[in-house]
Amino acid sequence: MYQHPSCTIIELGLKDYAQVWADMRAFTDSRNAESADEIWLVEHPSVYTQGQAGKAEHLFNPGEIPVVASDRGGQVTYHGPGQLVVYPLLDLKRLKMGVRELVTRLENSVVDFLLPFGIESAPKADAPGVYVQGKKIASLGLRVRKGCSYHGVAINIDMELAPFKNINPCGYEGLQMTQLSEHAKQNVSVASVTNGFLSSLTHNLFKAEH
């Protein structure tokens, strides 16, 4: 497993969204100025999550997939197996990092991660996330409490994209989604790409320390 001196990296495997969300809140509430930062890696069973800006009309056919109202920023999105979800639990005050800078560093982490696959991607100023040829490959949503961040970034690796058709992803009608497996010239899975993304993420998050 990839290790980094600036944080503790925890792999959770496939775990229920609501439970991980509760654990993130508990961790954030209990930490103090000496608490080590952590990065959690997880896949979630199928779930729609509504951010604080979420509107019911953007979720028009959930079917049997559960819906969870979350305290993260942003609007509605979908999580499911085959998507790498990364939660950086960071003391932003200690890192002297603002929320906007954290968003930028997370987006840059995805862009850098995709380059070795020959994939060019970019964020959009008016729609947080990372896009490949106009289609969204990574979604972001954050919450900051006590100067510390939780929630994070979800990267579509090799998953079932059909559930995205039942929502306006992140509130944008007609927004198309894509995933790494549609562009990579090799077989990919969450397990096979996790270390590569962690390398990109920790470089972007902690590069000012070195």
List the catalytic residues.
170
| Residue 71 in tokens | 């305290």
Q: What is the DSSP letter of 63?
A: T
3-state SS assignment for residue 83: strand
| Residue 72 in tokens | 């993260």
3-state SS assignment for residue 22: helix
For residue 206, which amino acid is it? F
Distance CA 14, CA 9 (A): 16
Measured distance between the N- and C-terminal CA atoms of the chain, rounded to whole angstroms: 21
